[in-house]
């Protein structure tokens, strides 16, 4: 009973809800601001860019400024496949008289499901200015149907490429083209 009472008196650290420096850097990479545009124009331009990139629009919630899209893409890595084949051949040669029963090729990457989520929020104190944050996650599937890897994409170049396309699309949307 005393342990429960003492445990309930524990205080929360002052920085418990503070984001780490790396999280703040990542948020900066994932976010851009657009001015002289409406949230609907940004959502429309974003939808066009994602569809041009081969994504299917899964959901659009205009009132909340949220758009999500996904696609399935090839995840095969040529070097990994070559290495796996070499290991299989070596394994078969070593066990020539026993037979080659191991199927390590199934442990290689096959396809990946990529999910993009875009959130559009008004910038406080700036009329017709919106902040756009994009997050990307991917799940890589092995040939045997198991999850090979899952991650949030943290590559700044990938985000920059998307925002470059979005900037052009927003311009076209504002011009009514």
In a domain, 10, yes or no: no
Count other Cβ atoms within 10 Å, centred on residue 81: 14
How many helices (DSSP H) and strands (DSSP E) are in the chain? 5, 6
DSSP 8-state assignment for residue 144: T
Count other Cβ atoms within 10 Å, centred on residue 16: 7
* CATH number of the domain that residue 68 is part of: 3.30.310.80
In a domain, 156, yes or no: yes
Q: Report the domain count for the chain.
A: 1
Domain that holds residue 120: 31-76+109-175
In a domain, 96, yes or no: no
For residue 132, give both structure tokens: 């756009």
Task: Report pTM.
Answer: 0.72
Q: What is the pLDDT of residues 105-164, one digit of tens each?
A: 456 888 999 999 999 999 999 999 999 999 999 999 998 899 999 999 999 999 999 999
In a domain, 39, yes or no: yes
Q: What is the mean pLDDT of residues 55-71?
A: 97
Q: What is the pLDDT of residues 3-34, one digit of tens each?
A: 555 555 556 666 655 656 788 899 999 999 99
What are the CA-CA distances from residue 95 to residues 30, 49, 67, 89 (Å)?
51, 52, 53, 10
In a domain, 41, yes or no: yes
For residue 174, give both structure tokens: 């504002």
In a domain, 148, yes or no: yes
In a domain, 13, yes or no: no
Query: Is the Cα torsion angle 92, 95, 97, 102 positive or negative in sign?
Result: negative
Instruction: Please say if the pLDDT value at position 104 is more than 60.
Output: no
Beta bridge partners of 23: none
Q: What is the pLDDT of residues 69-100, one digit of tens each?
A: 999 999 876 555 444 444 454 454 445 555 55
In a domain, 157, yes or no: yes
């Amino acid at each position: 009973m005393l342990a429960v009472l003492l445990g309930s008196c524990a205080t929360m650290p002052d920085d418990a809800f503070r984001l780490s420096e790396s999280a703040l850097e990542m948020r900066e990479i994932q976010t851009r601001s657009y001015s002289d545009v409406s949230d609907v124009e940004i959502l429309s331009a974003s939808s066009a860019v994602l569809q041009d990139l081969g994504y299917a629009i899964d959901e659009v919630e205009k009132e909340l400024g949220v758009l999500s899209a996904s696609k399935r893409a090839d995840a095969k890595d040529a070097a990994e496949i070559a290495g796996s084949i070499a290991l299989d051949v070596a394994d078969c040669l070593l066990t020539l008289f026993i037979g080659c029963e191991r199927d390590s090729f199934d442990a290689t990457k096959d396809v990946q499901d990529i999910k993009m989520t875009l959130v559009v929020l008004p910038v406080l104190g700036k009329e017709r200015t919106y902040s756009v944050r994009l997050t990307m996650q991917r799940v890589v599937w092995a040939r045997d149907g198991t999850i090979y890897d899952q991650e949030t994409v943290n590559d700044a170049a990938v985000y920059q490429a998307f925002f470059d396309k979005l900037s052009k699309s927003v311009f076209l949307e504002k011009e009514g083209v």
